[in-house]
């Protein structure tokens, strides 16, 4: 298992966004959920609670940034890097996932 990684740009953005919240989150939960035009979509949400007993916890920036991922999602996300990109088309978080076999035109849905 390779686990998950995160870029320096993503770490900076997560810390910036987290600081703007009324109550700082415990982590960022990422995963895979069913749906979308090609079968799966990415889950990306703040986690205000402690991790679930089965969650895998990934720590970055000396523990200041944490990602929670459930074991079923980790099967699809193993080896994925979470990045934050800025381009002429906009900015946002991007999953760089080596396991993806296809994606829809809107970029919201992936196929494994």
Range of the domain at 54: 5-101
In a domain, 22, yes or no: yes
The Cα–Cα gap between 66 and 25 comes to 10
Give the total number of structural domains in the chain.
1
In a domain, 61, yes or no: yes
Global pTM exceeds 0.95 = no
In a domain, 54, yes or no: yes
CATH of the domain at 30: 2.60.300.12
In a domain, 19, yes or no: yes
In a domain, 112, yes or no: no
In a domain, 16, yes or no: yes
Contacting residues for 72 by C-beta, under 8 A, at least 6 apart:
31, 32
In a domain, 110, yes or no: no
Q: For the segment 55-81, what is each residue's pLDDT rounded down to a tens digit?
A: 999 999 999 999 999 999 999 999 999
The Cα–Cα gap between 46 and 37 comes to 25
């Amino acid at each position: 298992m390779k686990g998950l990684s995160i870029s320096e740009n993503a770490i900076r953005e997560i810390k910036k966004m987290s600081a703007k919240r009324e109550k700082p989150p415990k982590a960022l939960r990422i995963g895979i959920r069913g749906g979308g035009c090609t079968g799966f979509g990415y889950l990306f949400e703040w986690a205000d609670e402690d991790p679930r007993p089965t969650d895998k916890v990934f720590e970055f920036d000396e523990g200041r940034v944490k990602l929670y991922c459930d074991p079923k999602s980790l099967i699809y996300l193993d080896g994925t890097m979470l990045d934050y990109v800025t381009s002429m088309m906009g900015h946002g978080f991007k999953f760089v996932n080596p396991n993806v076999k296809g994606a829809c035109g809107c970029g919201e849905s992936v196929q494994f």
